[in-house]
Structure 1
């Protein structure tokens, strides 16, 4: 097993050439007010900024689900889930709040009922013993389009995953 250095775990930004290649996501947790969390994704490094804030980094091509929720005294104000692929240096990307520099946006859903559906879809994928980080990116685009149109998304099965892995192998 080879060990890959993390995206700037110890050294400063200027001293670490790998860090500039990573995508960073700022996570904030103020109980029942602002809650940002990673639903899935392989974190390469983590930096604690304060008791309420930390920054996690992802290597290029990592797929991550980033959930943001906020509320006031009257209830939920905003809920959103973004599933994105961390980009390589020089690749085009979409900017997203709290994501630096940005990523290839595979899914972006707002509103708690739709966000809950995405979380349920992720749970079903995991129930198939599949890692949501590894499934076909086209499936996340499909889920985004179907939920945006108010339609149910196709189920991602182990058979679909095997087909994706075969297509991916042909492309490499």
Structure 2
């Protein structure tokens, strides 16, 4: 069975504002990629770095609708590197809010792939909570949340 997941959350802001909060590095670095920032905006064909070192290959950007990118999966020592595919969808709701859905797939069907999928599912769920807090209330939930945020090192794997 392939490892993949889908998470979603309702943000009480118009779709254009929510979409911009992901593609705009000045916004995304205020609530999610806070340590090390983002090297540039998410535009189709771009190669950017998150947290100053994590490569993100942007495949598609459809204004206010969809973002697709690939990035490196967590691999075990000695395992050949590979990438997973992330798709974010933005749906305008009747009440003016936005439903954001994030799906990720492509992990190898092994123990490390399963672990990586669980870690990323947790991360994307937290990203949605952080986006909601930032856009609706101006609060950065990530500040000081992870030990890595306090140590100045990106959280590429869960801290022991």
Question: Which structure ranks higher in relative contact order (CA pairs < 8 Å, sequence separation ≥ 6)?
Answer: 2
Which one has the bigger strand percentage?
A: 1
TM-score w.r.t. length of structure 1: 0.33
TM-score w.r.t. length of structure 2: 0.34
Whichever of the two has the greater Rg, that structure is 1
